[in-house]
Amino acid sequence: MKNHVLRPLWVAILLVIALLVARKLYVPADFGINGRNFTYGYYRKASVNDWKEFKVKYKGRQYCKECHEENFDSISKSKHRIIQCENCHGPAIDHPDNPEALEIDRSRGLCLRCHADLPYPGSHRNDLPAIDPEEHNPDKACADCHNPHKPDLEG
Amino acid sequence: MIEPSVYVHGLEWTTKELFTYPNEFITWSIQIVMYPYMTGLVAGAFVLSSLYHVFGQKDLKDLARFSLVFSLALLPVAAMPLLLHLQQPLRAMHPLFTPHFTSAISAFGIVFSTYGLIVLSEIWFVYRKHFVDQVHELKGIKGSKLKRMIFIILTMGAMDISEAALAKDKKAVTIMAAIGIPVACFLHGYAGFIFGSVKANALWMSPLMPVIFIMSAVVSGIALCMLTYILIMEFKKIKAAIARGMGDTSVQAIKGIEMEVITKATRYLIIFLVAAISLEILDLIFRGYTAMKSWDILRSVMYGKDFVDIFMLQYGIGNLLPFIMLLWPKRTLRRVAIATTLILFGVFMMRWNVVIGGQAFSLSFAGFMHYHMPIIPHNWETFKEGLGGVILVIISPYALFWVINKFTPSLGTVEEKI
Amino acid sequence: MKCSRRNFLKKSLSGAVAAGLPLAAFKFLSPREAHAAVKEANLRWAFIVDTRKCVGCGLCVKACKKENEIPYDVPLTRTWIERYIVTKDGKTTIDTPKGGRDGFTSKKVRGEEIPDDQITKAFFVPKLCNQCDNPACVQVCPVGATYQTADGVTLVDRKWCIGCGYCIMACPYGARFFHPVYRVAEKCTFCYHRIKKGMKTACVDACPFGARQIGNIKDINDPVAHTILTERVAVLKDEYGTKPQVFYLGLDERVR
């Protein structure tokens, strides 16, 4: 009965111990200072791998070339060679397994991204061939007249 | 066409004007207004009780016991807004498990629990004699077995209520109250630091922010304790009048004591109010004078869009008006009650203007955002981050106080005196 | 009694210190780890945005959203394009419809058309996370759920984030947001899964005009490092001391 004054302190210490035990059980072992310092590098190390294993969807034109060499060649000769296949054909993901067929974007909106007229002084946009989408055959699909792989009507 | 499983946080209550970055929304909404408001009330209530225990302000004795117990009731409620705000509430323990101390929020769990333990142990020392008395009193009384069990647990086995033991209790109370003051101030000052340290936010970033928060916290805490005290005492008066018949002298007795307590508390309220307002005005003047890059947009928010909120509601109705009301001669209880209500409103508006006002402009300084608090909830999100959540947070301390007060009666002293 | 308690405390304290020290002292690196550490030390990802080349087609935004599984129709995006239009009265009008996801196909800004003859200059500015050297967002994370990798990319641990939003508030660039599905903080990862496989980021690959480039700033032979070292580059909002690692060519003073 002498030191009843310290009883709340023992309770507090018990709580701290309980917290430390819970922490030990709950927090993954690889959590700690894994980077350059505590400020910027305190984390769960396995998280980096989580991100490394994220699925790639856009495979790049070399992947497309493996099967579609003809189309690859045709566009390589046109001004549109700077555009990646997947920008219009959609991300390959695991094509041809999944998805079996890619959905091609044939909308006017896709072409207008570059070719809607915006006469902006000082912008590279100004250098691209442009039309006014409300004037230039508004009801037609661009691909009706222009072959995206061979965009110049003359060529 | 947004799928139902997809939830864009902030989309429902944010409208944008001119240019804002696409990802900008009112991310910190009403619950982050409530969080510093509630911690402020906790800190303020505790400081008020400490004025008696540490500095021996005997005139505050009645209020001190009440505000101590009330601050315990407020304590869990201060953490509630954070839980309601978190997008992953099940991970709420992470700041305690892996605290990243370079963040102002990380210490919340630690400071908060430390403070909670201090308040709890102080109450334990204050009420230990009561617990022991109850254990003896309830012995053998039918139907009180459970209640007695709780009291036995509450004594933690310390049944000694000799003079010497009680003297030790008293000393311990003083020590806990003394440690408690800086911890309470720290708890709240660092809530100010959470905002003041955000360098990306032009309105928040200020070293004065923590100090302003502490001052207004104490103001709101004292105001809330005074108001609740008045209300409870009025209620008691009515009860006494009904029980003993009209014109009974006991009503007069309660009234006399009540006014005395309120007069003393008002003095402290005014001191802290002056300090809080001075600092806020200093901050405002300094921003205008230095006129950094952000001043243009800040000015258009403060003197334009948020003028009513800041200068009419916060400074006018929330600070100046109650200030005059409290200083006006021949103070009455009713006037004090109204003034403290206005002060509570004023401090709430201050939190609002900091949290919501800080997000009223785009980080690009080229556009604005407006917050529309969800009133009628149509899903869990709009409930918890809307009016529903606010009401929940406001009523919780009273419900808790009702429960806690069953074991630590903090309003009984006046009756004993009668 | 008092004396013995003090002794007990002293002994237990020194015991704890003695127990803790050796753990830290005896950590050796295996040769493989050491090699990896040196290799990592020579790698720091950096980005170049050439605003003079950008035409505002928005293919980068589209690719980013699809590659990184950001629901396509929500108004949130890891990267976006801003349009700046400067008029004769000296005013700057800025917009970013849908973050530029569908490109800029109309002259209208928020429903109003600015007459061509009033425009003195106009340009597009792609934005993304700056992968700062001193990321303010990482500093303020209360739980260590966001961090900087050894090669300088700031990532979010989706399994540890509590969703407090502090990092979102701390970023001066507005690069962060709550992921609409996972409900945790989300940001540009420099396509960490791609650059670690030797690929470019989805946005760099998608850009037809080479307005975006990514490389290793520590490798003098890297074209990106070369550009940063030889040309006049600028960063966004350097006054915040975050040391951004996304460098801009042709950046206008009006860009926010």
Q: What is the mean pLDDT of residues B237-261?
A: 72
Q: Determine the structural domain holding residue A151 and report its residue range.
A: 106-155
Q: Which of chain B's residues have a Cβ under 8 Å away from the Cβ of A12?
A: 117, 121
| Partners of residue C196 in chain A, C-beta under 8 Å | 52
Split at pLDDT 50, 70, 90, the class of A1 is very low
3-state SS of chain C?
A: CHHHHHHHHHHHHHHHHHHHHHHHHCCCCCHHHHHHHHHHHCCCEEEEEECCCCCCCCHHHHHHHHHCCCCCCCCCCCCEEEEEEEECCCCEEEECHHHHCCCCCCCEECCEECCHHHEEEEEEEEECCCCCCCCHHHHCCCCCCEEECCCCCEEECCCCCCCCCHHHHHCCCCCCEECCCCCCEECCCCCHHHHCCCCCCHHHHHCCCCCEEEEECCCCCCHHHHHHHHCCCECCCHHHCCCCCEEEECCCCCCC
Both A142 and A153 in one domain: the answer is yes
Touching check for B96 and chain A: CB below 8 Å? yes
Q: Do B28 and C136 touch (CB under 8 A)?
A: no
- B-to-C residue pairs, Cβ atoms closer than 8 angstroms: 153
pLDDT above 50 for B346 = yes
Q: What is the mean pLDDT of residues B376-386?
A: 92
Q: Are residues A127 and A143 in the same domain?
A: yes
Give long-range contacts, CB 8 A cutoff, 24+ apart: B131-138: B131/B155, B131/B407, B132/B158, B132/B159, B132/B161, B133/B161, B135/B159
The partner residues of A98 in beta bridges, in order of sequence, read A94
Chain B CB contacts of A42 below 8 Å: 98, 100
Structure tokens at C94: 């800025």
**Mean pLDDT, rounded, for C79-107:** 96
- For an interface test with A, the pick among C13, C85, C95, C147 (most A C-beta atoms closer than 10 Å) comes out as C147
Q: What are the tens digits of pLDDT across the range C149-207?
A: 999 999 999 999 999 999 999 999 999 999 999 999 999 999 999 999 999 999 999 99
Say whether residue B168 is in contact with chain A using an 8 A CB cutoff. yes
- With CB atoms and an 8 Å threshold, state whether A8 touches B121: yes
* Separation of alpha carbons B393 and B402, rounded Å: 15
Is B366's CB within 8 Å of C177's CB?
Answer: no
Return the pLDDT at B108: 81
Supply the DSSP symbol for A55. P
Choose the closest CB to A5 out of B93, B159, B168. B168
How many structural domains comprise chain A? 3
d(CA A94, CA A59): 9
| Interchain contact A120–B (C-beta under 8 A) | no
Q: Is residue B377 part of a domain?
A: no
| Contact with chain C for residue A37, Cβ under 8 A | no
Residues A155 and A134 in one domain: yes
Residue B413 in tokens: 């002293």
Q: Has residue B95 been placed in a domain?
A: yes
pLDDT at residue B16, rounded to an integer: 96
Residue C102 to residues A23, A130, C98, C107, Cα–Cα distance (Å):
47, 17, 7, 14
Decide if A51 contacts C193 (C-beta within 8 A). Answer: yes
Q: Which residue of B has its CA nearest to A29?
A: B98
- Tell me: the pLDDT tens digits for A94-147? 999 989 999 999 999 999 999 999 999 989 999 999 999 999 999 999 999 999
Across the interface, whether the CB atoms of C147 and A47 are under 8 A apart is answered: yes
B334 found inside a domain: no
Shortest CA distance to B337 belongs to which of B322, B327, B318?
Answer: B322
Compute the nearest-CA separation of C159 from chain A (Å).
8
pLDDT of B244 over the 90 cut:
no
In angstroms, the separation between the Cα of residue C179 and the nearest Cα of chain B is: 8
The confidence score (pLDDT) of residue A2 equals 57
If one counts every other C-beta atom within 10 angstroms of the C-beta of residue C60, the result is 27
Q: Flag whether pLDDT at B323 surpasses 70.
A: yes
Mark whether A65 and A47 lie in a shared domain. no
Q: Kindly report, residue by residue over C112-162, the tens digit of the pLDDT.
A: 999 999 999 999 999 999 999 999 999 999 999 999 999 999 999 999 999
A34 vs C contacts (CB less than 8 Å): 147
C positions 137-196 inside 8 Å of A (CB): 138-139, 144-150, 155, 157-160, 189, 192-194, 196
The predicted pLDDT at position B248 comes to: 59
The minimal CB distance from A43 to the residues C67, C157, C205 is found for C157
Between B73 and C49, whose confidence is greater? C49
Structural domain span for residue B151: 40-197+402-412
A110 and A155 fall within a common domain = yes
Q: What is the DSSP string of A77-111?
A: TSGGGGS-HHHHH---TBTTTBSSS------HHHH
Number of domains in chain B: 1
Percent of chain B at pLDDT exceeding 90: 58
Same domain, A64 and A87: yes
The domains found in chain C, sorted by start residue, are 45-132+189-249 (3.30.70.20), 138-186 (3.30.70.20)
C118 touches chain A (CB under 8 A): no
Q: Is residue B176 part of a domain?
A: yes
* Interface confidence (ipTM) of the complex: 0.92
Mean pLDDT of C70-86: 97
Which percentage of chain C shows pLDDT scores above 70?
84
For residues B66-93, give the mean pLDDT: 91
Name the average pLDDT for chain C. 90
The answer to whether the Cβ–Cβ distance between B172 and A1 falls below 8 Å is no
The predicted-structure confidence for B264-292, as pLDDT tens digits, reads as follows 889 989 999 999 999 999 999 999 999 99
What mean pLDDT is reported for chain B?
Answer: 88
* pLDDT at residue B330, as a whole number: 87
Is the Cβ pair C66, A36 closer than 8 Å?
Answer: no
